[in-house]
Amino acid sequence: MEETINIQIPNFTLGQEIARGGMAVVYLGKQQQPKRKVAIKIVSPQGNDPKILEDLKKEGDTVAQFSHPNIVTVYACGVVNNCYYLAMEILAGGDLKQKIKNGLSELEALNIMVEIGSALEHAHKRGTLHRDVKPENILFHEDGQAVLVDFGIAKAQNTVSEFTRIGAVVGTPHYMSPERALGKKIDERSDLYALGVVLYEMLVGRKAFEGEDSFAVSYAHVHEPIPNLPKELNQYQPLLNKLLAKKSDDRFQTATQLVHQLKKYIKRLEPTTDTTYSFIPLPDYERKQKWPLLIGGGFLIAVMLAVGFYITKQDDSINHNISNLTPAQKIEMSQKLQAAGSFFNLENFSQAEVLYVEVLTKFDCTEEEARGRLKVINPQKLKQIIDACD
């Protein structure tokens, strides 16, 4: 493809080659009017098929209509000398593949997920699938903001182009959804599956499924179980399971749902990352002013302790199940509570209900968390359990 360096693109000049892969080469370039530096991607399809070039042009025009901080800005696109070109903003912060190699924190990985999830949300709402979400297609501004690039094999939903017809084998097998690997019809949930594979790679540092060849990798996506995260990351297993569900109906149905859930995880992480607490002694004059309050507060605490002791004694007479559990049963109950909590936080209330009911009926009918959550999910069922318990 070295001959593409001589292509004359109206209003642009080509400079140094900065990337190459498959059918495409990317150059640094300059736009004449308005004057600015750009990155210019040139695609030369095998055989210079005019139908493929025309489809690429249409798809480039679609992406150029997007206006989102996490989607690459496209300045111009077209077909010249049987080659397709795309002029876009320069992203100087490297790609996600390199960041994964260097190592990412949990918070960094989740923030990247939110930004790319938001980009997919924007595209999906405008009827366009990306079809090739992978670390190499996630680049960064110098300030660290993630940007989704290379909608080169994107296509509008419910349309079929010659390029995306042969695109059944275009893209990266490591990030293909089961339905795509099987050649079935795909929708936005396929993009979300690919983003789930990216999440696993960001957290663990390796791909979710490996194989000797593309067929072996595709087979794994269709038939192999979802990989388990390391023990220290198991709080993200329910999120990963929902992203990588084999059936698309079992995944997040929209990028909006995914972003909403990711923000909950981030909210739980952030207070422990940069918030510290310290004790500051009161000045003498404030200490004197506080004495009446402290005396009154001490009396109140004494009353509360007495009431608490009475309640505890009452609970001891009711809570007969937990004291009779074996150590193994206590561990099993704890595991079910943890799993139920994860399902509850992911708003998978049907699975959470099954586990909370099992905790209350099989292990301890007075377990507070199970009662409180079941009261939200199914108060009628909770009343039946309480009546049987009491």
Closest CA to 83 of 40, 35, 21: 40
Distance of alpha carbon 194 from alpha carbon 211, whole angstroms: 17
Amino acid identity of residue 262, one-letter, is: L
Structure tokens at 71: 């989607």
Backbone φ and ψ for 103, nearest 5 degrees, come out as: 105, 135
| Residues known to be catalytic | 132
Give the Cα separation of 374 and 97 in Å (integer). Answer: 43
Give the C-alpha distances (Å, rounded to integers) separating 327 from 130, 200, 296, 330, 334. 50, 33, 43, 5, 11
CA–CA distance from 76 to each of 44, 54, 73, 341 (Å)? 17, 15, 9, 49
From residue 341, alpha-carbon distances to 243, 258, 357, 367 in Å are 18, 18, 13, 13
How many whole angstroms separate alpha carbon 4 and alpha carbon 29? 13
Is residue 27 within 8 Å of 39, Cβ to Cβ?
A: yes
What is the dihedral sign for C-alpha 202, 206, 211, 214? positive
| CA 83/CA 79 separation, integer angstroms | 5
Question: What's the CA gap between 226 and 246, in Å, rounded?
Answer: 9
